[in-house]
Structure 1
Amino acid sequence: MPEDYAADHPLFGGAISSTFPLRFQDVSNIRQVPDHQEVFVDPARDESLIFELLDLKLDVADTGSATWFLQDLATEQEAEGTMAISKGRQGREAQNIVRVYLANLRLKEVGTDVLITAYEPVVINPLSETASTVGAGLAVPAIQSGCMPMSEVFKLALSSFKVNDWSLFGAA
């Protein structure tokens, strides 16, 4: 089966599922991931896909919630304009320029904000630990590598997102 073949992935012990390419590996097999997150990465492209369950932000309006979360993420990353992100414990001098896709699904009946975030590298910093595997400079577009573009991966993951077991949220 080709690694870009899209398959249904169980999330949070199967309570949720989403469809995205097999080239994305479960990060929890490599390092510890917080219980409220499911993190997948394509190490060959340094692309990542994150599913996160957060307490519902009651003070954030529905119409602006995704924008609010994106601004919160940008503030957390100290981003100015385009998002510049360092890997792990690397400093600002090793930041990569990435394109960020973010969606917020508001599950008000169970008091949860679901964030689906995808990161696609645009420029890999030569000082980044990623440069040794992906290569420094402009990132090669996914389509040129025979991969599904990250924008399509994100749309597929979002459109196929499904809650299979509401008890995950403490609902009866």
Structure 2
Amino acid sequence: MAQEKYSQRALFGGAISSLFPDRFQDVSNVRQVPDHQEAFVDPARDESLIIELLDFKPDVADSGSATWFLQDLATEQDAEGSVVIEQTGVVEVPGLSYGNVPSVVTTVVGQMAISKGRQGREAQNTVRVYVANLRLKGVSTDVLITAYEPIHINPLSESATAVGAGLAAPALQSGHVPMLEVFRLAVSSFKINDWNLFGSGL
């Protein structure tokens, strides 16, 4: 099996870093990405990894926060048949606490049918979605780490030209680390190097 190369990626101008495979290319080199977001894609496999900084949602309970964000993503992308496959409990992350305020993480794995870009429902792909919500309460920020892994590519989807239609081959078959492992590593290696990113008042 081919050895996957990894790099510690500098995110948000180096204020944050995370470790994931080199095959994921920075989307901002191709098109504009919103300031609160960092997006990476492996075009050969139509897999993507997105890191977002969002305002903290105080009315969402920690225990269900990753699931809440998954459903929010499904609504935003006009997804059909969104299902939750598994979710984890709330885990404290000592390395990400700010001041005396602890940070917590919850994760969820879901599956949904979504279309690429402006394509209609007839071109939907079945995609597994991994979501981690890092709740940085000390700086009132919800960090969202989302990984998308296609399970079935619709022949009408624009992804079919790059990846091929039908069942997407598991990453292992092509000598790559599975998306679940890529996701876990990106979450576990997530590090804040400069807390000033979250506001000058800190």
Under TM normalisation by the shorter chain, which class is it? over 0.9
Runs of 4+ in 1 over 4 A off after TM superposition: none
Structure 2 equivalent of residue 99 of structure 1: 128
Shift of 1:3: 8.2
Structure 2 equivalent of residue 7 of structure 1: 7
- Normalising by the residue count of structure 2, what TM-score does the alignment of the two structures yield? 0.82
**Aligned residues, how many?**
171
Structure 2 equivalent of residue 89 of structure 1: 118
Please say if residues 3 and 175 of structure 2, whose CA atoms lie closer than 8 Å, have aligned partners that are also in contact. no
Structure 1 equivalent of residue 81 of structure 2: 80
Rounded Cα–Cα distance in structure 2 between residues aligned with 1:134 and 1:95 = 14
- Cα shift readout 1:116-148 (whole Å, capped 9, x = no counterpart): 000000000101111011000000110000001
SS of corresponding position for 2:81: coil
**Structure 1 portions without partners, runs of 5+:** none
The one-letter code sitting in structure 1 at the alignment partner of 2:121 is: R
**Structure 2 portions without partners, runs of 5+:** 83-110
SS of corresponding position for 1:147: coil
- Normalising by the residue count of structure 1, what TM-score does the alignment of the two structures yield? 0.96
> Is 83-92 or 145-154 further displaced after alignment?
83-92
- Is residue 71 of structure 2 the alignment partner of residue 42 of structure 1? no
The one-letter code sitting in structure 2 at the alignment partner of 1:99 is: R
Rounded Cα–Cα distance in structure 2 between residues aligned with 1:149 and 1:80 = 23
Shift of 1:34: 0.3
- Cα shift readout 1:69-102 (whole Å, capped 9, x = no counterpart): 1111122223323411111111111111000000
